Structure formats: structure tokens, C-alpha cells
A and B are shown apart, each in its own frame.
Chain A
């Protein structure tokens, strides 16, 4: 079974509107971290936002916020006020394991969602 599922291969959004990119994950480890990365056409992966499994509040970073629904194992990325420069591939990723001492898993990536922002 896939650990990270991104069900939207591609999405369109009008400039200045908000968009939600879906991500569901599968783990039995109570301790894990969730990441979102942006990959523009140049290829470099850019870190956007992080959510820890024990974090009480949803993470926010500027125009990015993470809608974390732990019971549903969902970690959707919300981009507010879309800009043309937001057009890119977006990847959700998960790392299982403890912060210190315990074994730490590797980063597992979903297949990504291609976001296109229309002017």
C-alpha cells in the first residue's frame, strides 16, 4: 500500500484564488512528520511547510497552510492568493520515527500534483 497518496495529478486555479492540494498518508507509527515541497520546472525541490504528528495547531508559513486532520490521516496544503509563480509540481512527504534516539525513517514522497495558475 502507498504510504503517501496524492489523488490529483493536475489542478488549475485562477490567479489570486485559494487552492487546496490533497494528501493522505498511511502509518501506524504515532510519531511522524509531514512535509510539503514545491518543484518548479527547473527541478529543484523547495521546502514549503512542516507538520509534526504531535503538533496541536495547523502549520502556517506565509501563504501556505497545512490542513492537518490526524484522524483522517490527511495533510492537505492550502495556498492562498495564488500567484503565477506558484505554477509547479507539489509533493507531499512523510517521515516516520522519533526525534531523538529512536530509529528515524526515511522521507517518503507522493507522486505529486501539478498546479497551474491561470492569469
Chain B
């Protein structure tokens, strides 16, 4: 089945450690996105990539980094510079960035920093 996978579903890390969240898609989509969701809030864009080897900052990129070496993969690293990293992280993809192209989402990773 085509879709987006994120692993792991739950992740615990100690404060000060970097952590990488995985996102893989087999939909052959060009565009991929990372969002952060806090309790009672909507999604906020962290980074997006329109094509391999290219990515752009979203609204809340500080303390995060990404790479896009392969079309199907868009890992997100939460660095120790991120002041409040505990949140629910969602990865998404779309065929491209056309206005009417819906984004397909993965199941999410819940990150807790202790």
C-alpha cells in the first residue's frame, strides 16, 4: 500500500540530546513537509522540500534541521537548540505544491524530552 511512514510512534529523549525523526513515503511525491502540533493547537510548518536536495524553512524552523537526499525520505533532526521540543510531529507529502493538491500525512511521532 502507498503511504507515509513515520518512526518511531513514541520517542523519549533526555534534554540536550539531538534526535532524528524518520519520514518515508512511497507515493512518488515531490513535495514533503514537517509540522509540529502542540496540545490544543493547529499544525505549524517547520520545514518543507519541493524537490530532492532542496528544502526551505517554514514558520518555526529554529532548532530543527532536515535533509532531502532521496525523493522518498525527509528526516527531521530536533537539535538541543530547540527550546521546547516536546510535541507531536507530523510529516506530510504532496505531488507538488499546487494550490489544490492535498497533503497526505503520516501517523506522527510523539516526542517527549525529559
Contact = CB atoms under 8 A, between A and B. Distances in A.
Interface of A: 4, 9, 31-33, 35, 37, 42-47, 50, 52, 91, 93, 95-100, 104, 106-107, 109-112
A32 B99 CA distance: 7
Interface residues of B, number: 25
A99 B99 contact: yes
Contacts of B105: 37, 44-46
A107 B45 contact: yes
Interface of B: 33, 40-45, 48, 58-59, 88, 90, 92, 97-100, 102-108, 110
Most buried by A among B40, B43, B104, B107: B43
A45 B99 contact: no
Contact of A106 (B41, B45, B90, B104): B45
A112 B88 CA distance: 15
